[in-house]
Chain A
Amino acid sequence: MVNKKEEIVELANNLRWEVGGNFHDSLMESIYKEAGDIVKKTVRKKDEKHAFGFDKKLDKIVTNKWTGFPIMFILLAIVFWITVQGSNYPSQLLSSLLVGDLYETLKGFSHSLAIPQWIDGLLIDGGYLAMAWVISVMLPPMAIFFPLFTLLEDFGYLPRVAFNMDSLFRKAGAHGKQALTMSMGFGCNAAGVIATRVIDSPRERLIAIITNNFSLCNGRWPTQILIATIFIGGLVPANLAGIISAGAVVGVAVLGVVLSLITSWGLSKTVLKGEASTFNLELPPYRPPRVLQTLYTSLIDRTLIVLWRAIVFAFPAGLVIWSVANIHIDGISLADYFINWIDPFAILIGLNGIILLAYVIAIPANEIVIPTILMLTVVHFGLHGVGAGAGVMFQTDSLSATKQLLEAGGWTVLTGVNLMLFSLLHNPCSTTIYTIYEETKSIKWTALSTFLPIVMGIVLCFLVAQIWQLF
C-alpha cells in the first residue's frame, strides 16, 4: 500500500516531463473554452450598447483629462474639510468631559479614599490622563473621516482615483492604489496600513505600507498647526500670520507626499527590487452607497479597532510618562537624566532633549507629544505658576502662554521648524508599528518602516539646523 502511494507520486513526477512546463496555460484555455460554451447557451444580452450606460458616462467625466483631477481634489478636500470642521466641537466636548470633569472626579474620589499619592499619580495622572487625551483628540476625526471615505469606496469611486493617479505612482515604482492608502494615512497611519490590503501585488503593497507614515496623520496635524502658528506665524505681520502658518503646515504635508514618492522609488529600486510585482486594477460598476450600513461597519471595522489599540498602548505610556517625571535617583528625576544626556545631540539636530524624550515616551500616540513636552519643560526648568505638577500632562489656555513657556524652555524659530519636520519624519506610533507587523508578519519590514523615517528625520533636521546656523 505504502509503495503504491509512493509510486503514484513518482508517476506524477515523471509525467510532468512529458506534459511540459506550460500545462497550466492549456488548462486555463480549456476552462475558458468551457465557460464560453456555457455562456453561449445561457446568457442573452439585450441592447449591449446601452448596458452600463450610466457607468460609462460617469467614467468619462471622472477620468477625463480636464475634469478628472479637479473632481478628485475637490472630493478629497470636501472630505478633509468636513472632518476638520465636524470634529472640532465633539473634540472639545470630549476633552472637557474626559480630561476635565471625569479627571477631577477621579482625583476627588481617590483623595476621599486616601489612596497613596504615588498610586493616584501613576494611575490617574499617568495612565488615565494619557488615555483620555488620546480618545478625545483621536475619536472625533476618525469617526467622521472613515465613514466618509467608506461611502466613496462603497460608491465605487476610489478605484477611479487609483486609475487617475497611477501614472505618477508607476513612475515612483508604486501602485495607483497607493494614492488611496496615502489618503487614508492622513486620517490614521494604522488604518492606512490596513487599507493596503487592496493592493494585491506583494512589492507595491510593501512599498505602500512602509511609506504610509509619510502621510501626516490626524494625530500630528494639531502639533503642526500649533507650532506653525507660534513660530512661523510670529515671523510675519499679524494680518498675514494666519495664511503663512497655514501655508507652512500644508507645506510640511506636501513635503511628506513628495518624500513618500521618493522613498517609494528608492525602495522599489533597492531593498524591494526583488519582490514579486503584478498589476491589474479592476474598475467595478458604480453602486449606490448604503449610508447606515457604512456608518456602522466603518465605525466598527476601522475607527473602534484603531482606537482600541491606541488605548491599549496609551495607558502604559501614561504610566511611563508619569514615572520618568516622578522617580528620582539621587534627587534627579529619570527624565532629567535622559534630557541632560541627550541634549548635546538634540541641539546638534536643532531640537532639544525634552522633545526627544517626549517622542520616545509618547510613542503610542502623536496626540500626546505636545502635552508631554509642556509638562517636561515645566518640570525640567522648575517653572512656577504653570502646569499641573510633575508627570501630569496639560494644555495651556492660550497660544501666548504656550509660546512663553516654550521660549522659557529655550525654543527658537529653528526649534519650531525642526519640530515640524521631526513630527513628520519620525517613527510611526506604536499602534501603526504593531499594525505593520500584523500585516507583514515580518520583523525586517517592521523595523525598516520604523527606523527609516527616524534616520531621515534626524538627517534632515541636522542639515537644516547646521545650514541655518551658517547664516
Chain B
Amino acid sequence: MNSFNANCENCPVHNANNLVKLGIDMKDFDFVIALAGNPNTGKSTVFNALTGLRQHTGNWPGKTVTRAEGGFEFNGHKYKIVDLPGTYSLLSTSTDEEVARNFILFGQPDVTVIVADATRLERNLNLILQVLEITDRAVLCLNLMDEAERNGIEIDIRTLSKELGIPVVPTAARQKEGIPDLLQYIDEVATGKYKCKPRRIKKRDPKLQKAIKLLSNELKQLFPNLPNTEWVALRLLEGDQEIIKAIKTGELEHLERTELLSNASDSIKKEKVTI
C-alpha cells in the first residue's frame, strides 16, 4: 500500500535523526519555507509533522488558524516554516489571498511548499500553477496519497514533476509517510542543488497575451533579473496596489537582487535574514 515511498525506507535520508523538530524556537534560521495550499489538504498536518507543534487540524474546508510559524532543523540547516492561510486561488482581493500572495512574492521564502490533495489534483493545480507564476523555488507535496490509493487514483509522479518543473513528493502526512523525502527535496531546493524550472501558464486570450507580453518586456528592461515578469505584468493589469507600490519604490529591484543572493553562500544569507 505504501508503495510510493517504500523503495527508500532505508536510504540515509530516512534516518529520522536528521530531523530535529524545533517547535516555535526559530532563532537564527537559515531558510524560510512557506506552506501554501487549498483548504483542507493537510497543510496543518504537514506543518505539525515538520515542527512537532500541534496546530489545530480539522476536516473542514475553512480556516481555523490565520497564520502559524514554527521551526525545524534538517541536515544541519535551520528552517523557519510559515503556514499560510488555505486558499483556492491567489488572484482575488480577499485578505487571505492577499496575505498568501504577498508573502510568496515579497516575503521571499527560500522554498514554497505547496500542499495538494492527490484525490483532487485538477482543482489543486489551479493554485499550484498560480504559485509557480510567482516563485521559481517550490516543492509540491502531494498529500493524502493514502486516500488516493484507496480510491484507485494513480498519479504518475515523475511525469507530473516534469510537467511542473519542480520536485513532487507523494505523502500521507497523517501517517507521517513521505515526510523524509519532502525534507530532502526542501533541502535540495533551498540550497540550490535542485534547480526548478517552473511551468508558466499559457494565456490563451490573444488580447491578454499581447498586453502581458508588452508589459513584461518593459519590465524586463527595467528589472533585468526579475524572474516572474509575467506575473508582475498580470498583477499590474489587475491594478494590484502592492505591485504598483513595489515598482514605484523600487522594491522589485530588491527582489531581484536577493534572487541572486539565494545562490550565494549560507553565511551571506544569514546576514540578510537577521537584519
Spell out A's residues near B (CB within 8 Å): 1, 4-9, 11-12, 15-16, 18-20, 23-24, 26-36, 38-39, 41-48, 50-52, 150, 153-156, 158-159, 177, 197-200, 282, 284-287, 290, 293, 296-298, 300-301
Question: Which B residue sits closest to A177, measured CB to CB?
Answer: B62
Q: Are B59 and A154 in contact (CB under 8 A)?
A: yes
The distance in angstroms between the C-alpha atoms of A19 and B72, with both chains bound, is: 46
Contact of A41 among B58, B129, B163 (CB under 8 A): B163
Closest approach, in angstroms, between the C-beta of B107 and any C-beta of chain A?
22
Mask of B107-147 contacts with A, CB within 8 angstroms, 1/0 = 00000000000010111011001100000000000000001
B273 within 8 A of A: no
Query: Would you list which residues of chain B between 68 and 111 have a CB under 8 Å from chain A?
Result: 91
Contact of A8 among B62, B199, B202, B218 (CB under 8 A): B218
Mask of B44-59 contacts with A, CB within 8 angstroms, 1/0 = 0000000000111111
Which residues on B sit within 8 Å (CB–CB) of A286? 59
- Interface size of B by CB at 8 A reads 58
Which residues on A sit within 8 Å (CB–CB) of B164? 38
Q: Are B40 and A32 in contact (CB under 8 A)?
A: no
The distance in angstroms between the C-alpha atoms of A297 and B121, with both chains bound, is: 29
The distance in angstroms between the C-alpha atoms of A298 and B56, with both chains bound, is: 8
Q: Are B204 and A153 in contact (CB under 8 A)?
A: no
Closest approach, in angstroms, between the C-beta of B151 and any C-beta of chain A?
4
Known: A5-B222, A26-B204, A36-B122. A284 touches B237 (CB 8 A): no
The distance in angstroms between the C-alpha atoms of A27 and B208, with both chains bound, is: 8
Q: Are A284 and B159 in contact (CB under 8 A)?
A: no
Which residues on A sit within 8 Å (CB–CB) of B201? 27, 30-31, 34
- Which has the most chain B C-beta neighbours within 10 Å: A23, A44, A199, A287? A23
Which residues on B sit within 8 Å (CB–CB) of A153? 58-60
Tell me how many residue pairs across A and B have CB atoms closer than 8 Å: 169
Q: Are B211 and A15 in contact (CB under 8 A)?
A: yes
Question: Which A residue sits closest to B159, measured CB to CB?
Answer: A42
Known: A8-B218, A43-B154, A284-B61. A16 touches B239 (CB 8 A): yes
B238 within 8 A of A: yes
Question: Which A residue sits closest to B66, measured CB to CB?
Answer: A197
Closest approach, in angstroms, between the C-beta of B238 and any C-beta of chain A?
7
Q: Are A4 and B215 in contact (CB under 8 A)?
A: no
Q: Are B156 and A42 in contact (CB under 8 A)?
A: yes
Closest approach, in angstroms, between the C-beta of A181 and any C-beta of chain B?
11
Query: Would you list which residues of chain B between 139 and 169 have a CB under 8 Å from chain A?
Result: 147, 151-156, 159-160, 163-164
Q: Are B214 and A15 in contact (CB under 8 A)?
A: yes
- Which has the most chain B C-beta neighbours within 10 Å: A9, A11, A27, A197? A27
Which residues on B sit within 8 Å (CB–CB) of A154? 57-59
Q: Are B160 and A42 in contact (CB under 8 A)?
A: yes
Q: Are B247 and A8 in contact (CB under 8 A)?
A: yes
Which residues on A sit within 8 Å (CB–CB) of B61? 159, 198, 282, 284
Contact of B204 among A7, A20, A33, A287 (CB under 8 A): A33
Q: Are B215 and A8 in contact (CB under 8 A)?
A: yes
Q: Are B54 and A38 in contact (CB under 8 A)?
A: no
Q: Are A42 and B155 in contact (CB under 8 A)?
A: yes
Question: Which B residue sits closest to A150, measured CB to CB?
Answer: B58
B64 within 8 A of A: yes
Given contacts A19-B205, A51-B152, 17 further A-B contacts (CB under 8 A): A8-B215, A15-B211, A15-B237, A26-B203, A26-B208, A31-B129, A34-B201, A41-B156, A43-B153, A44-B156, A46-B154, A47-B152, A153-B58, A156-B59, A297-B56, A298-B56, A300-B54
Which residues on B sit within 8 Å (CB–CB) of A1? 222
Closest approach, in angstroms, between the C-beta of A37 and any C-beta of chain B?
8
Which residues on A sit within 8 Å (CB–CB) of B204? 26, 29-30, 33
Which residues on A sit within 8 Å (CB–CB) of B205? 19, 23, 26-27, 30
Which residues on A sit within 8 Å (CB–CB) of B247? 5, 8-9
Known: A39-B125, A43-B153, A159-B60. A297 touches B54 (CB 8 A): yes
